[in-house]
Each structure stands twice: as C-alpha cells, then as structure tokens.
Amino acid sequence: MSEDGAARQQQDETRDNWVLRAGAWNEQADHLARLAGGLNEPLIAAAGVTPGHQVLDLASGVGEPAISIAALVGPDGSVTASDLVAEMLAGTERRAKEQGVANMAFRVTPMEELPFDDDRFDVVTCRLGLMYTPSPERALAQARRVLRPSGRAAFLVWGPKADNSQFGIVDRVLDEVTSIDPHEGAFTPTRLGNDGALNALFEAAGFSAWEEQELRFSPRVDLDSKFWRPQLALRLGAHLAKMDDAERQRIDDAMRETYVDLLDGDRVQLQVHARIGVGTV
C-alpha cells in the first residue's frame, strides 16, 4: 500500500473510531462545556484571539472551544468550526443554534486536507485533536497554508501518560476488567505529549517562530461522586451502552479500588498535564 493509501486508511479508521463515540460526546456536551474553561482560556490566550478575528477551529467536536471563541471575536469576527466526523460536528451546530450564536460556519473536513483558500484566517486553534490525526505534520502544514501573514496557530494536546492520572487508570482497568482497547487502533491521547514534540512539528511545517507552554492541574475530587463515569462514556461510546449492569458494576468497583491509592485525606488527588504549541507564520 502506498504512503497516501496507508494514511487514508488510518484516517478512515480514526473517523470510524470517533463515530462510535459521537453519541456519548453529544450526551456529555453540556457537562464538557462546564469543564472547558481550564483548557479553553490558556489556549485562546496563546492563540492571541481578539475581537474581529477570522478563526478556524479544528477538531471542534461538540462545541468547545469554537463556541467560546465565537463569543470573543464578536459580530465583526467569525469562527469556522470543523471536524472529521459529521456526527460530532452536528453537536457543535446544534449547541450554537440553541445559544443564538450567529457568527459561526461548520465544515466536515480532515485537518490534513483543509478545503480553504490560502491566507484565509487570522488564527487556527485546535484543542485535543492533533493527537488523533495520522499525519500531524500535514495538519500543521495545512494550518500554516490557510493562515494570513503573521497569523498564529495554537494546538493543545495532552502531556505524557504518566502525568495524567486518569489515562493510565482507565486504560488499565478497561484492559483488566473488559479486555476492551479504549483506543481501538486509534492514536493514543498522549502520543504528542513529550516536551518538544509540538515544536518539532511547527518547525517542520515551516512556521517562522514556535514555542511550547505547559499546563498542569491537580484537581481534588470526591471518590463517592464516581467522577470517572463521564470519561468512561466518552472513551467507550457504544461499547458502554451494550454492557449489562453487572459488567458496569465491575468497572465501577475496579475504578474505585484503583483510585483509593490516590486518596489524600477525603479526596482523590489527580494529576493533569497538557501542552500548548504556538506557531507564528
């Protein structure tokens, strides 16, 4: 198989993987929006978004940060929300309509093959999407192509797996209890998390300047709240809906037992590490 053919096959597999999860992401959309600020705000700041900007948001999923950016750029600006998966982007369009957002457009497209003219946007943003494309270097090159001179691109990814409590725990529990691979052949969430990985991509894509920023959080959560359930729904999608009550209970019990090791007093101490790469044309 040619290199282009292999990349196309990987892209199709990634799309199929996310179609399985689109229903769960749409169900969790409002919950996710409430949690979005901690990642949205530093990403938007790093991108330098201001009123009047024309912004392209990649891998918009079910709405964030595209909807938040639309509010910031105001009526003189616009946001084009895009995603590889039509079922995911439908959630963004639905939520924007419900909120009366009028300065947005929506486009189903892979980020490696953007259907936009050169020099079209002031800013390109992407929150937690670059890790899943089979060709992140092509995605960055496309972002640079559609940016105007002096435009900026900001991509946020998860840091290393060892620095993100929930990724390691959820993967281990699902493997031990269900034998389900939560990624199902898709690229793992932390594949671009090492220091310097984003810088290398921006340099290879031909940006004139680039830098990485580190985000770390240490949230404390109530063990009895079963806080892991939304993430399980997002990771498993249709698989979770097919499980019977006994299997779901086994997962809950295993998650609780594992998180007990992270108890600090009466709360679970989690670790979260994300990274933002910023490039200037």
| Of residues 176, 168, 167, the one with CA closest to residue 253 | 176
Name residue 39's beta-bridge partners: none
Triad 230, 240, 155: Cα angle to 5°:
50
- Hey, which bits of the chain come out as E strands? 54-58, 78-83, 104-108, 121-127, 147-158, 209-217, 220-221, 263-264, 267-269, 272-280
pLDDT at 184 over 60: no
Residues 48 and 256: their CA atoms lie apart, in Å, by: 41
Tokens of 43: 């990403």
Asked if 195 and 159 touch (Cβ cutoff 8 Å), the reply is no
- Order of all β-strands in the sheet with 263-264: 220-221, 267-269, 263-264
CB 193 within 8 A of CB 161: yes
Name residues whose C-beta falls within 8 Å of residue 23's C-beta, 6 or more positions apart in sequence.
87, 237, 238, 241
Instruction: Look at residue 186 in the predicted model and tell me its pLDDT.
Output: 62
Average confidence (pLDDT) over 138-157: 98
Could you tell me the residue ranges of all domains in the chain?
Answer: 3-280
CA distances from 184 to 20, 49, 60, 179 (A): 10, 35, 21, 11
pTM: 0.92
Distances (CA, A) of 2 to 5, 6, 9, 184: 5, 6, 10, 23
Q: Which of 32-41, 83-92, 232-241, 264-273 shows the lowest mean pLDDT across its residues?
A: 232-241
Instruction: Domain 3-280: give its CATH architecture.
Output: 3-Layer(aba) Sandwich (3.40)
Beta bridge mates, 58: 126
pLDDT above 90: percentage of residues in the chain: 70
The pLDDT tens digits for 44-89 are 999 999 999 999 999 999 999 999 999 999 999 999 999 999 999 9
**What is the distance between the alpha carbons of residues 240 and 238, in angstroms, rounded to a whole number?**
5
Mean pLDDT of the chain, nearest integer:
91
Instruction: Give the span between the Cα atoms of 117 and 2, in whole angstroms.
Output: 27
